[in-house]
Amino acid sequence: MAAGTIRYWAAAKAAAGTAEEPYTADNLAEALEAARLNHPGELALVLRRCSFLVDGAPVGTRGHETVRLAEGGTVEVLPPFAGG
């Protein structure tokens, strides 16, 4: 298991109630499932609309279970922004 940081932006930050938190997971799917469990309610809905960067690289359409997380890595949770 890798340990790193999830950073929430905009609506994801509001739904999580925090700007960032640690993760311990092997892949993005596991990290996001833990986030949903830690913040039941609105965050699960927001995450459905988000895009993700893992260590600065866009995840795009790859399956979240295929996106490996690195020790000390960063997951950026980016909800859609108005006008962009």
Partners of 50 in the beta sheet? none
Q: Tell me the whole-structure pTM to 2 decimals.
A: 0.92
Write out pLDDT tens, residues 7-47: 999 999 999 999 999 999 999 999 999 999 999 999 999 99
Model confidence pLDDT, tens digit, residues 69-80:
999 999 999 988
CB neighbour list of residue 82: distance below 8 Å, 6 or more residues apart: none
pLDDT-derived band at 83, boundaries 50, 70, 90: very low
The pLDDT, as a whole number, for residue 51 is 95
∠ CA(22), CA(34), CA(78), 5° rounding? 70
Please check the confidence at residue 84 and state whether its pLDDT lies above 80.
Answer: no
Query: What are 40's two structure tokens?
Result: 């039941």
